[in-house]
Amino acid sequence: MHKHNIAHLYATGDSFVFGQGLKGHNISEFYNFTPELRKNCYTGIIADIWKIPHYTNTALPGGSNDRIIRKIMFDIPELLHGVPAKEVFVHVGLTHPSRTEFFTTKYKHYIPHISQFQPDIINYGNVRSLWELYVAYFDDVNENVDRYTMQIVNLQTFLKSLGVRYMIARVMSEDHTFNTTVNASKPGLRSLIDTHRFPQDILPFNQYVQSRGCKLTQCLHADEEGHRVWAEFLMNYMEANRLV
């Protein structure tokens, strides 16, 4: 029997879940999730310590919560064709709510849309125009809060309907305006959020590792020690709160 009866750990999120800046992350192949990255990122560490035989990480630097939901809704039903739902565990590293994504017919794939970072004008000149328009007129905290709240409720409802265990943890902190708006917005809808599996009383990954004195990489992400510390914290939390 596998630890906690988990045969497959599926992880997704943004660069923090991917392990950007860790040993094994090759800057020339920026989006390539290597075997060495798998050993150093926190969900890979959890899979190794708990001796989970199968592990998938679909996180992506720059990934949005839109992408997180898309990947889970597309991937997990396919995974369940070969693995019983009770043996699957999904870990979600929730990212900054202002991020979105869109599909471009020119490049035939989804492109991350990050309001804090301008797209590369050489390779994505047409995307740059859309980014400028969005940042100037549409990047509003109220929309971000509404989308964020609906995403969490929809994601939890979907995973619960499949009968898989999961945990959602924030990996990036939000600013005071966002948190204030969330707390003042739609209490009825927020009451539907399962705070047992999306705990509100723990620090996001980036804040937690800094509170423990861990160093950051050159790209301002947690280093290998930070990932080990976060993995240890999550394992203790999940076991103590019977999430596994």
Q: pLDDT for 43-53, tens place per residue?
A: 999 999 999 99
DSSP string, 3-22: GGG-SEEEEE-SHHHHTTTS
Quick one: 114 and 21 in the same domain? no
Helix (H) or strand (E) holding 77: helix 65-79
- Is 77's pLDDT higher than 80? yes
Domain boundary among 87, 118, 138: 138
Q: What integer is the mean pLDDT of 193-202?
A: 96
Q: Which residues contact 149 (CB under 8 A, 6 or more apart)?
A: 182, 185, 186, 189, 190, 193
Quick one: 54 and 114 in the same domain? no
Mean pLDDT rounded to a whole number for the chain: 93
Domain boundary among 115, 138, 161: 138
Q: How many domains does the chain have?
A: 2
Quick one: 161 and 223 in the same domain? yes
Exposed e or buried b for every residue in 33-62, given b needs 16+ CB within 10 A?
beeebbbbbbbbbbbeebebebbbbbbbbb
The pLDDT confidence band at residue 22, using thresholds 50, 70 and 90, is very high
Residue 121 pLDDT:
61
Q: Taking the model in full, what pTM does it have?
A: 0.95
Q: Which residues contact 113 (CB under 8 A, 6 or more apart)?
A: 64, 99, 100, 101, 102, 130, 131, 134
Quick one: 37 and 84 in the same domain? yes
Residue 10 pLDDT:
98
Q: At what angle do helices 141-162 and 65-79 cross, to 10 degrees?
A: 10
The pLDDT confidence band at residue 204, using thresholds 50, 70 and 90, is very high
d(CA 19, CA 27): 12
Domain boundary among 108, 138, 168: 138
Q: What integer is the mean pLDDT of 147-168?
A: 97
Quick one: 133 and 15 in the same domain? no
Residue 2's region, left for phi above 0, alpha for psi from -120 to 50, else beta, is beta
| CATH number of the domain residue 236 falls in | 3.40.50.1110
- Is 111's pLDDT higher than 90? no
Tokens of 87: 């043996």
Q: Which residues contact 202 (CB under 8 A, 6 or more apart)?
A: 169, 208, 237
Q: Of the candidates 181, 104, 196, which has an alpha carbon nearest to the alpha carbon of residue 144?
A: 181
Quick one: 164 and 134 in the same domain? no
Quick one: 77 and 156 in the same domain? yes
Q: Of the candidates 31, 194, 171, which has an alpha carbon nearest to the alpha carbon of residue 91?
A: 171
Quick one: 176 and 93 in the same domain? yes
Quick one: 88 and 128 in the same domain? no
Residue 23 pLDDT:
93
Residue 188 Cα to chain centre, angstroms? 25
Quick one: 67 and 163 in the same domain? yes
Query: Which residues lie across from 91 on neighbouring strands?
Result: 11, 167
Residue 124 pLDDT:
65
Domain that holds residue 108: 99-138
Quick one: 192 and 235 in the same domain? yes
- In the sheet with 165-170, reading across from the earlier edge strand, the strands are 54-57, 8-12, 88-94, 165-170
Quick one: 44 and 152 in the same domain? yes
d(CA 240, CA 80): 27
- Is 129's pLDDT higher than 90? no
Tokens of 10: 């599926």
